Amino acid sequence: MNIEYSDDTDAKWISKGGKAVYGYKAHVMVDSKDGFVLGGVVTPANETDMKNMEAVIQEGKIRPGTKVHADKGYASRENRKIISHRKLKNGIMKKAVRNHPLNEKEKIWNKKISQVRYKVERTFGTLKRLYGFNRMRYLSLEKGLMEFYLKAMAFNLKKAVNLQAV
């Protein structure tokens, strides 16, 4: 007998903070100057960030020489190769691994990156709080991506208006 938890067969389970969550995850590229959403991809929740760096960079259409800031979820040798191959600058936070804690130089590196990444985190917070993007409203990966694009467009339009008012 096959047990199904939802009509949404694209969504997957993941444990987050000791709590089981069923759904999707958005991997988003945000402009570090003004905080505009440049692009992103939506995946099942159980897909790791590490495997989505190239898709996000490709979706964002960023120019060579641009520094790519990312949290430690994207820290991998493969992602550093992708960044190098596309002639981008590496801004991925360092990640401590078992029996190899971060040294002082790596901690300073992470602190410098986090000083830029706050705009990205602020964008996520706004998308979740004001646009309800902490929960998908539609079933299927395709419709979830459509929802992301619509909310990103609305966010960018409102941000553009607010920046013009200043």
Is it the case that residue 3 has pLDDT exceeding 70? no
pTM of the model: 0.81
Is position 93 within any domain?
A: yes
| pLDDT score of 81 | 93
1 domain residue, yes or no: no
Please say if the pLDDT value at position 1 is more than 50: no
The number of angstroms, rounded, from the C-alpha of 18 to the middle of its chain's C-alpha atoms is 21
Residue 3 placed within a domain: no
- Whether 37 is in a domain gets the answer yes
Yes or no: say if 94 and 114 are a contact pair by the CB < 8 Å rule: no
Query: In this structure, what token pair is assigned to residue 134?
Result: 């902490």
pLDDT in tens, 14-32: 888 888 888 888 888 888 8
Q: How many domains does the chain have?
A: 1
> Does 102 reside within a domain?
yes
List the CATH number of the domain containing 111.
3.30.420
Q: Is 56 exposed, middle or buried (0-12, 13-18, 19+ CB in 10 A)?
A: buried
Identify whether 138 is part of a domain: yes
Task: Please give the residue range of the domain that contains residue 72.
Answer: 12-165
How far is residue 38 from each of residues 48, 60, 68, 77, measured CA to CA in Å?
Answer: 21, 5, 12, 24
- The C-alpha atoms of residue 101 and residue 97 are separated, in whole angstroms, by 6
As a whole-number percent, the residues of the chain with pLDDT over 90 amount to 28
Higher pLDDT, 52 or 153: 153
Is residue 7 in some structural domain?
no
pLDDT over 60 at 145, yes or no:
yes
Under a CB-based contact definition with an 8 Å cutoff, are residues 32 and 60 in contact? no
Whole-number pLDDT of residue 6: 67
The reply to whether 58 falls in a domain is yes
